[in-house]
Amino acid sequence: MIFQWTNNAIIFAVENVYKEIQPVKNFENKTNEFLKYCENLPTKFNTPGMNIEDWKKLLKEDFDGAYKQLKIETDYEIKAVWVLASFKFQKLLDSILYLLNKGDYYSSIVLIRTLTEVSCFSNYHLKKMKPLVDRMNDNYNNYDEYIKTHIELEPYFKLANRGTRIPVLLDHPDAGEAKSILYAIDFISQRKEYSSIRKDYDLLCDFVHPNVMSNKIFSVITNIYSKKKGKFFPDYKIQNISGEADEFYKDIPNEYQAVMLLTYFGMIIGVLIKNMNLMKETIEEFKEVEVKQVEKPLFYKIFERLDDKSKY
């Protein structure tokens, strides 16, 4: 898939209003680089699970086999976070780009908020898992510490891959109780390159919820005040155009689209770029992360030897 702008209002805005703004000017190239990167990502994912009772039986018969299974399942739980996030991200991005070219800015912004949740959520949970994975690997020959750390890791698996707020689903022992997404958004905002993402998210929420921005996006300014300058809000990358927004349309007429785009187009481009960067960083950082298999503890080896001697 090669992406390019086909929406005349956006083409006009990029070529005339944003022609000196590099992120906007280079957005097509940036997006195509990301789409090309996605072509090498997994398109299918299987989780080789074993129920706890079968695993306990295996442990009695084959310690190494049981903990090989634990390693496999742990690696897949980690991989599931970024693989499933990449599935969602690609579907959302494809839809967002299509809707922007179609001129459906409201629907595209609603999906951009979801895109932000997906990228922040996956990065947050993998960042929280990584120190625990490192500790497991540092203690692969220390059975007690290895198992203790794995127990600490499990709640992140549950929340990242099986989180829910639906009571009937929470009854399942492998489910995690979902929280507000803001803990992940705020976590990502602590990083310099993503420091504005909480403000971006708050603004996106105002478009998604039945608030003023979700109404304003259907309005057109029919009378611009030529003597009053509009105000630009750099933190949010939105422009307030001085004038009377006194007409509302389900579909904004073409002659008004270029003017109305000035209100929020910079915000749209900025948030999309940040999300593509974050999703790629997440995948690159965690795609090779695996746990080591724990070594058989000394007490287990002693019991095995005693058991072998008892057979003779």
- Output the pLDDT for position 308: 46
CA–CA gap between residue 263 and residue 255 (Å, rounded): 15
Residue 164 backbone dihedrals phi, psi, to 5 degrees: -160, 160
pLDDT digits (tens, 9 = 90+) for 43-88: 998 877 778 888 888 888 888 888 898 899 999 999 999 999 999 9
To the nearest whole number, what is the mean pLDDT of the chain?
85
Q: Is the dihedral of CA 208, 38, 80, 128 positive or negative?
A: negative
Q: Which residue shows structure tokens 């008892």?
A: 310
C-alpha pair distances (Å), 193 with each of 179, 189, 273, 278, 281: 25, 8, 11, 10, 12
| Crossing angle of the two packed helices 105-138 and 197-208, in degrees rounded to 10 | 140
Select the more confidently predicted residue: 147 or 284.
284
Query: Cα torsion for 191, 198, 180, 49, to the nearest 10°?
Result: -40
| Number of CB atoms found within 10 A of residue 18's CB | 19
At residue 245, the pLDDT reads 67
Over range 137-154, report the average pLDDT.
92
Chain Cα centroid distance, residue 26? 23
Q: Please report, rounded to a whole number, the percentage of residues in the chain having pLDDT higher than 90.
A: 51
pLDDT category of residue 173 using cuts at 50, 70 and 90 = confident
Closest by alpha carbon to 115, among 288, 270, 285? 270
Helix H or strand E segment including 238: strand 238-240
Per-residue pLDDT tens digits for 201-248? 999 998 899 887 778 778 777 665 555 554 444 554 555 555 566 788
**Alpha-carbon span 149 to 55, nearest angstrom:** 19
**Stretch 272-296: mean pLDDT, rounded?**
94
User: Over 60: is that where the pLDDT of 302 sits?
Assistant: no
- Report how far apart the first and last C-alpha atoms of the chain are (Å, whole number): 69
Per-residue model confidence as pLDDT tens digits over 24-42: 899 999 999 999 999 999 9
- Report the Cα 220 to chain-centroid distance in Å: 33
